[in-house]
Structure 1
Amino acid sequence: MRLEKRSVFLSKPILVIYYSWSGATERAAQAIAKVQQADVVRLTVAADTFAADMFVTSDIAQKQLATGALPALTNALPNFNDYATILVGGPVWSAKVATPVRSLLTHLETFTGTVAPFYTDAGNAGDYETDFAGLVQRATVKPGLECHAGQSAAAIKSWLQAVET
């Protein structure tokens, strides 16, 4: 599954992996991948896991968090140890990491490289980055990038340079 691409701004192989409920995080992932020239994987869950309505989806996610029953990822995951850096994207749900991204982070428990979040929200990211960092076991967590519509390439480049340092 490993593609022979190399980062433009990061000197070692990287992976952009993301979950997108509404399409906003997917647009951010594609913008980052365009600047970064990284391998990209979209996380998927069963089609009936969440509703089309964001408030209903929020309720579903809250129940998942309360019970610890995170949604199963339905796509194949790459060998994370093939990468030095993994950029993890997802939506902010109730100021927390979305449950599909939480599922992914359980698969990164032995990864010892660098991880950095990028995320989209409907107005308030809250303590997303603190929540994210608390879910990462062994990797080094770098500051994240809060993505907005029309994220500039310059902002992405600046963030990627900060991730590398």
Structure 2
Amino acid sequence: MAAVLIVDYSWSGTTAKMAAALQQVTGAQLVNLTVAPTTFGSDMYATADIANQQLASGQLPQLTNSLPDLSQFDTILVGGPVWSAKVSTPVRTFLGKLKNYKGTVAPFYTDAGTPGGYEADFTKLLPHATVKPGIGMTIQDLQQADAQLTTWWERTL
């Protein structure tokens, strides 16, 4: 059986709910990415401005939690919120740690109904990995997520 890791960053808690549901479906180890509490505020628009400044300057936030040895996993499922149709900056920091990863990666993400080019942005950040199609959900979708996540997971294997 393949070794699977779920890694997620959740600004509002929605992606964390999706990650927990995905863990129930897969039985995989789960790591929640964290950044310093002062990195982002509680206002969505101010957070978007900070993230855009981080992208423009190339100064992505540092992760504050430890990670397992990523090379021990055949598949890594990476979750995060969609920010301005892009991968959130904490998830970008994590994806930078996968620059030499040769396994399979698949994105899962939460959005307000407009993911835009999220998956294309995600794939562009991992040129050496095998990136599978992802799955996105809104907070409303999460109320009935198990069947959708199971179907997606079976296709990802």
TM-score by length of 1: 0.91
Which residue in 2 is equivalent to 1:94?
A: 84
Match of 1:128 among 118, 134, 156: 118
Q: CA RMSD in A?
A: 0.8
1:73 partner amino acid: L
Aligned residue for 1:29?
19
CA distance in 1, matches of 2:110, 2:99: 24
- The whole-number CA distance in structure 1 between the counterparts of 2:4 and 2:131 is 14
Stretches of structure 1 that go unaligned for 5 or more consecutive residues are 1-10
Partners in 2 of 1:151 and 1:58 — Cα distance?
A: 28
Please state how far the C-alpha of 1:152 moved relative to its aligned partner: 2.4
Candidates 31, 34, 46, aligned match of 1:44: 34
Residues 1:104 and 2:94 aligned together: yes
Q: Deviations over 1:52-107 (max 9, x none)?
A: 00000000000000000000001001111110000000000000000000000000
Matched letter for residue 121 of structure 1: D
Q: Contact 1:45–1:72 (CA<8 Å) still a contact in 2?
A: yes
Question: For 1:86, what is the secondary structure of its paired residue?
Answer: strand
Check whether the contact 1:110–1:137 (CA below 8 A) recurs between aligned residues.
no
Structure 1 residues 137, 78: CA separation in 2 closer, same or farther (over 3 Å shift)?
farther
Gap regions ≥5 residues in structure 2: none
Partner residue in 2 for 1:118: 108
Percentage of identical aligned residues: 52
User: Hey, what does 1:16 align to over in structure 2?
Assistant: 6
Identify the residue that residue 157 of structure 1 maps to in structure 2: 150
- Give the whole-Å Cα distance in 2 for the aligned partners of 1:160 and 1:125: 20
Give the whole-Å Cα distance in 2 for the aligned partners of 1:76 and 1:137.
24
